Amino acid sequence: MERDRTDGRAAGRLLAAVLAGWMALGPAAAQQAPAPAPAGRGGLRIYVLQGEQAVNNTRTGAATPPVVEVRDANDFPVAGAEVTFRTPETGPSATFEGGRHEYTNRTDAKGQVSAGRMTPNGVEGVFSIQATAKLDERTGMAVIRQRNSRDEYAAGGAPGVQRKGFWGRNKWWLTGLMAGTGAGLGYWLSTRETAAPGEASLRPGTVVIGGPR
């Protein structure tokens, strides 16, 4: 019986060590997500929701205008921030409404803003769109990469700067939950009693009274 308890304690310690290692690595060990854009003065961050790696068609004029979300240093959406999108004036590029290379708008209650309508020019190749955010003395910047092509088109849904995933937003309470679960399971394994060979074991079943018929 004492040996069974010792084995249970060892299994509990091993399980706790495995859980601790898994929590330290997190899901980022399997696939590392891109880091947020560096914060400017006061900590504004720009997350690209649409338009990163988009392919615009110069023949049809189809393009994907960027959509971004502005957040503060505490990762809360910032409403009313002024966001300016700028495209190159030469080489592969695109223009916004009115044929301009610059477009400015303010974020909504969710901290999001779109670059509006965008049209690629006739030059094929890769270019970058610069997005800058400003609110009072706080600033932030992000670079959105796109490409012009005569024969291809892709909306570019994959963001270049990702918002925090489920683990990032909830890592503290998830860590606590897993630690509590691991501790409880380890305690159960270390204290449970295993029936020794030869001991009687009662199992529920149908009681039959009387001899064979």
With contact defined as beta carbons under 8 Å apart, do 108 and 80 qualify? no
Give the pairing of strands 54-57 and 125-135.
unpaired
Mean pLDDT computed over every residue of the chain: 76
Is residue 197 over pLDDT 70?
A: no
Q: What is the pTM of this model?
A: 0.58
Q: Which two tokens stand for residue 71?
A: 């957040």
42-90: pLDDT as tens digits: 589 999 999 999 999 999 999 999 999 999 999 999 999 999 999 999 9
pLDDT given for residue 43 in this prediction:
85
Nearest 5°: the CA angle 28, 33, 34 is 140
Average pLDDT (163-173) is: 52
pLDDT given for residue 192 in this prediction:
61
